A and B are shown apart, each in its own frame.
Chain A
Amino acid sequence: DEYKSAMSFEWPWQYNFPPFFTLQPNVDTRQKQLAAWCSLVLSFCRHRKLYTLDVLEAQESPVFNNKKIERKLSVEAIQVVFEELRKKGNLEWLDKSKSRCLIMWRRPEEW
Chain B
Amino acid sequence: VLTRAVGIVGIERKLEEKRKETDKNISESLSRLVGRPLIMHSTAVINFISLDSANHYLSLQAKEMVEVSKSIANKIKDKQGDITEDETIRFKSYLLSMGIANPVTRETHGSGTQYHIQLAKQLGDILQAPLEERGGMMALTEVYCLVNRARGMEILIFFPAALRVKLMMVSDKGSLTAEEFAKLLGLSVLLAKERLLLAEKMGHLCRDDSVEGLRFYPNLF
**What residues make up the interface of A, taking CB atoms closer than 8 Å to B?**
13-14, 17-19, 21-22, 24-26, 28-29, 32-33, 36, 70-71
Cβ-defined contact, A25 with B208, below 8 A? no
Cβ-defined contact, B208 with A26, below 8 A? no
Most buried by A among B175, B210, B215: B210
Chain B residues in 8 Å Cβ range of A29: 200, 203, 206, 219, 221
Return the contact of B209 from the options A17, A22, A32, A33 (Cβ within 8 A): A22
Cβ-defined contact, A18 with B175, below 8 A? yes
Cβ-defined contact, A22 with B210, below 8 A? yes
**What residues make up the interface of B, taking CB atoms closer than 8 Å to A?**
175, 200-201, 203, 206-210, 215, 217, 219-221
Chain A residues in 8 Å Cβ range of B221: 14, 19, 24, 29, 32-33, 36
Query: If A29-B219, A29-B221, A33-B221 touch, does A18 touch B200 (CB 8 Å cutoff)?
Result: no
Chain A residues in 8 Å Cβ range of B219: 26, 29
- 8 A/B residue pairs, CB under 8 Å, sorted by A: A19-B220, A19-B221, A22-B210, A24-B207, A26-B206, A26-B219, A33-B221, A71-B210
Cβ-defined contact, B217 with A18, below 8 A? yes
Return the contact of A17 from the options B200, B201, B203, B220 (Cβ within 8 A): B220
Chain B residues in 8 Å Cβ range of A32: 221
Chain A residues in 8 Å Cβ range of B200: 25-26, 29
Q: Min CB distance, A19 to chain B, in Å?
A: 4
Return the contact of A26 from the options B201, B215, B217 (Cβ within 8 A): B201
* A-B residue pairs, 7 tightest by C-beta: A18-B208, A32-B221, A19-B206, A22-B209, A19-B208, A19-B217, A29-B221
Chain A residues in 8 Å Cβ range of B208: 18-19, 21-22, 71
Please, how many angstroms separate the alpha-carbon atoms of A18 and B216 in the complex? 10
Cβ-defined contact, B220 with A22, below 8 A? no
Return the contact of B210 from the options A13, A14, A17, A18 (Cβ within 8 A): A18
Please, how many angstroms separate the alpha-carbon atoms of A26 and B206 in the complex? 8
Cβ-defined contact, A24 with B206, below 8 A? yes
Cβ-defined contact, B207 with A19, below 8 A? yes
